Amino acid sequence: DAKTTQPPSMDCAEGRAANLPCNHSTISGNEYVYWYRQIHSQGPQYIIHGLKNNETNEMASLIITEDRKSSTLILPHATLRDTAVYYCTPRAGTALIFGKGTTLSVSS
Amino acid sequence: DTGVSQDPRHKITKRGQNVTFRCDPISEHNRLYWYRQTLGQGPEFLTYFQNEAQLEKSRLLSDRFSAERPKGSFSTLEIQRTEQGDSAMYLCASSLAGSQWSGEKLFFGSGTQLSVL
């Protein structure tokens, strides 16, 4: 399984963009990068995923470097409800393998 | 779409007792996953089913853990002879997966919190 490295915590002011980095230098060529988040006392929630190209949906944008060794999740206008643990997880088969993630704290 | 449902939400048991958790996936979802999560850690994969077939169980924590998905609908996770170290949140997720692994979104339930005294 590819290993990931994420900062343990980040802070963001409400209304500003939150940029969450993830290093996945051992990712293999057919592994997608998935991002999930987990709000306290709930199960993880899917955010976005990508293989090589940058992706955008109604929740976030995903920027993947050309060498695919790292990616950045962007929440364009963070709100207080975006406070959560964010997980970056590569996957090629079987199941998602989660690390400890990044705890994002959004404050007013 | 009523979401993934897990029952019970909380379970308190004494060491040595057996416990069983139930997961009802989103209707029509063909894959079902079980994870365990301890405080401060990300979810840890345990096992998964494609319809009624259990395709991966090597990550089940010990032979005290077993899971079933009869008829490919709901699933149960049983822990026999519980130990204090089994205290954790047990999460279930389901997905609708095709022949490719890409684009599979997992939908998680809210979990069952197990406390072993």
Partner residues linked to B1 by β-bridges: none
pLDDT of residue B102: 60
Above pLDDT 90, what percent of chain A?
Answer: 74
- Choose the closest CB to B110 out of A43, A95, A97: A43
Average pLDDT of the residues in B102-113 = 88
- In A, which residues are within 8 Å of B29 by CB distance? none
- Choose the closest CB to B33 out of A93, A95, A100: A95
**How far does A11 lie from chain B, in Å, by closest CA?**
18
Q: Residue B8 pLDDT more than 90?
A: yes
User: Which residues from A are below 8 Å from B when comparing CB atoms?
Assistant: 32, 36, 41-46, 49, 51, 85, 87, 91-101
A49-58, B24-33, B54-63, B92-101: lowest mean pLDDT where?
B92-101
Separation between Cα atoms, residue B92 and residue A31, nearest integer Å: 23
Q: Residue A10 pLDDT more than 90?
A: yes
- Choose the closest CB to B56 out of A87, A95, A100: A95
pLDDT of residue A75: 98
* Cβ-proximal residues to A22 (8 Å cutoff; 6+ apart), any chain: A4, A5, A6, A33, A35, A70, A71, A72, A73, A88
Partner residues linked to A68 by β-bridges: none
Average pLDDT of the residues in B31-44 = 94
Amino acid at B83: E
- Sign of the CA dihedral running A12, A3, A97, B89: negative
Residue A103's alpha-carbon distances to A10, A61, B70, in angstroms, are 6, 18, 38
Q: What are A29's two structure tokens?
A: 């060529």
Residue A1's alpha-carbon distances to A27, B20, B99, in angstroms, are 8, 30, 21
Q: Residue B29 pLDDT more than 70?
A: yes
Select from B47, B91, B108 the residue whose CB has the most chain A CBs within 10 Å, as the one to mutate to test that interface: B108
Look at residues A50, A70, A52, A69 and name the one whose alpha carbon lies nearest to residue A61. Answer: A50
**DSSP per-residue codes, A94-107:** S-------EEEEEE
Return the HEC string of chain B.
CCCCEEECCEEEECCCCCEEEEEECCCCCCEEEEEEECCCCCCEEEEEEECCEEEECCCCCCCCEEEECHHHCCEEEEECCCCHHHCEEEEEEEECCCCCCCCCCCEECCCEEEEEC
